[in-house]
Amino acid sequence: MRWDDFRSSDNIEDRRGEGGGGGIGFPGGGAGGLGIGTIVVLLIIGWVTGINPAILIGGAEQMTRGGGQSREERVDPQTQQRRRQQPTDESGRFAAKILGNTEDVWSQILPNQTGKSYTPTTMVLYTGGTRSGCGSAQAAMGPFYCPLDKKIYLDTDFFKDMATKFGVKGQFAYAYVIAHEVGHHVQDVLGILPKVQARQQQASSKREANALSVRVELMADCLAGVWARNSDDKWNSLDQSDIDEALKAANAIGDDKLQEASRGYAVPDSFTHGSSEQRKRWFMTGYKSGQTRSCDTFKTANN
């Protein structure tokens, strides 16, 4: 993948080296005074994003006991200035340039294809743990998008994990992961995430809520494909080996493959992100069409 010519995004918060983001326990066995409405919202966010709801609730409880202020609100001006400096290491530079390219692509094609203007997201780079608007961000959670603060959270060591744990290497595979999270932000800009959260709140079962989550995740895969096609059309940055890398990544992180690796079998009703076959197919749907409208996973009977 050729990415050196991409523009680096200014919407980067580099918190790496600042330490962890607090514990995720439940002191006293309770939810730390969180209201039932807050807990329900965090459960819904967990379903939509695939984040363990216990982690979100634990992080929110920690912030509530700390006076209701997030870590970001208490940082001094020097820390804020340091966070906004452009990363100089390769993984940080790569993340900033991929984010910048998604901004350049979506700011052009989203108005043209949907009539909606694109407001960029911010990407938070961290190591180990940090605070997010959705609670405590932990490296074990993997990259995620928080709709409450409109930010993407990425521990850049996840790229190493992709190689060591999943056998997935290659820069475009890493770019696909970032583009997938940006896809969730595009869904938020289009007003899709709030509608899904409302539907999940009304869901009659965990199975139904999980099925909605799968559609959200597969749409984000498709939107990553839309970005890839439009980026390549303009910058000529990809070749077939790059697409193969993305498909290998999608295959490795399918719910069926992950469940089979951890428990020896897959339980489709518990899927929250989709099977390997689904994730590959929807990425290619977006890549082949280059059109946002091709990614409406809610209009298909079967994903």
Q: Which residues contact 27 (CB under 8 A, 6 or more apart)?
A: 61, 65
CB 176 within 8 A of CB 283: yes
* Domain count within the chain: 1
Give a yes or no: residue 2 inside a domain. Answer: no
70 burial class (0-12, 13-18, 19+ CB within 10 angstroms)? middle
211-236 pLDDT per residue, tens: 999 999 999 999 999 999 999 999 99
**Phi and psi angles of residue 186, each rounded to the nearest 5 degrees, phi first:** -60, -40
What is the pLDDT confidence band of residue 70, given thresholds at 50, 70 and 90? very low
- Cα 233 from Cα 231, distance rounded (Å): 5
| pLDDT higher than 50, residue 261 | yes
What local confidence, expressed as pLDDT, does residue 38 receive?
A: 45
Task: Give the tokens for residue 120.
Answer: 């960029």
Domain range enclosing 192? 12-299
Task: Give the tokens for residue 285.
Answer: 């749907």
Give the three-class secondary structure for 152: strand
182-215 pLDDT per residue, tens: 999 999 999 999 999 888 888 888 889 889 999 9
| pLDDT higher than 80, residue 241 | yes
Give a yes or no: residue 84 inside a domain. Answer: yes
Q: Which residues contact 52 (CB under 8 A, 6 or more apart)?
A: 46, 141
CB 278 within 8 A of CB 287: no
4-45 pLDDT per residue, tens: 999 999 999 999 988 655 433 222 333 334 444 444 455 555
Give a yes or no: residue 96 inside a domain. Answer: yes
